[in-house]
Amino acid sequence: MRVFITGGAGFVGCNLAAHHLSLGNHITLFDNLSRPRTANNLAWLKKLAQTQTGVLQTYVGDIRREDELREALDLAQPDLIVHLAAQVAVTTSVTNPREDFEINALGTFNVLEVARNLPKPPAVFFASTNKVYGGMEEVAVIEEATRYRFRDFPNGIDEHQPLDFHSPYGCSKGTGDQYVRDYARIFGLKTVTFRQSTIYGPRQFGVEDQGWLAHFIIATVMGRPLKIYGNGKQVRDMLHVRDLIAAYDAAWRNIDRVSGEIFNVGGGVDNTVSIWAECGPMLEELAGHDIPVAYSETRPGDQPIFVSNNAKANTLLGWQTQVKLWDGIQELWHWVKDNRHLFA
């Protein structure tokens, strides 16, 4: 199998590449290496590839440049494109909406156009986001002692939730989301869209604007200050990167049946946590001491709660989450501690 991964040196991309290397597949990574520390992931992958049966090729390029993308895909001739390259921060989209649009909307359009015009068009998987549902202000939320909860959606939000693109990031990712779906309907390209919740796991270099759990752990391990936006009761369902990769694998196995589908994929109701009121004590237990934090105003567009209803993916893909939240948090904690030199 030949797999082409945009953003392949990023957190999800390098984990996905490592998975396919272990299966003996041919991997092409396409990345502009603009994110801090992606070079560390690339170096790790190149070393790993020496011990695996799969083949790793890398191409430094930018999805905003169709010519670079076309050149790489002409050489790779993949069976599957997993499109992960993105501008990922809501805050950055507000300060630089043009760059956000060019990467997330135009970049995704470029991937689709090049893919459909290859001699043998590959399948395309797109990493979308639950942010396409916006702030969901119309969904009733109840505040409890340590968390928010949905009043009327005990099993979480499914794919029937109305789209409401909030923030330039929501607009740009939502544009890509809908283009990917429509290219299956109009051009017959085999596509699957994954509206992903909070993904976490090893090799995540989280920062304040993205990858919050990894950011909290890195700051705690390195003794750096932490700021919590809002009251810390905001709830997220946490999906371990290995479970996300398992969802991609399940979609590939069923691609003829699920082409054109959109799936909410998250940790679900069994893997929820509030970002500080509940997560904070977990990290303090691991650290063995109190963790001081500062509080600030809630950021615009921040959902008080998002929990993914995975029923559609459970049914059509036969996919279930396997990694329990506490196990995954401990794994990430120990990875950060064992790799402190990467965060110096």
The residues annotated as belonging to the active site are 169
β-pairing verdict for 272-274 and 235-240: antiparallel
| Spatial distance between the Cα atoms of 143 and 304, rounded to a whole number of angstroms | 9
The DSSP secondary structure of 137-170, one letter per residue, reads: TTS-EEE-SS-EEESS-TT-B-TTSPP---HHHH
Of the candidates 142, 143, 169, 167, the one whose C-alpha atom is nearest the C-alpha of residue 153 is 142
| Spatial distance between the Cα atoms of 123 and 252, rounded to a whole number of angstroms | 8
| Spatial distance between the Cα atoms of 197 and 327, rounded to a whole number of angstroms | 18
| Spatial distance between the Cα atoms of 186 and 190, rounded to a whole number of angstroms | 11
Give me 336's structure tokens: 């950060």
User: Tokens 């290496």 label which residue?
Assistant: 33
Strand runs labelled E in the chain: 2-6, 26-31, 55-60, 80-83, 123-129, 141-143, 148-150, 191-196, 198-200, 227-229, 235-240, 261-265, 272-274, 294-296, 305-306
Sorted by sequence, the CB contacts under 8 Å of residue 129 that are 6+ apart come out as 170, 173, 195, 196
Does residue 278 contact residue 147 with C-beta atoms inside 8 Å? Answer: yes
| Spatial distance between the Cα atoms of 311 and 267, rounded to a whole number of angstroms | 12
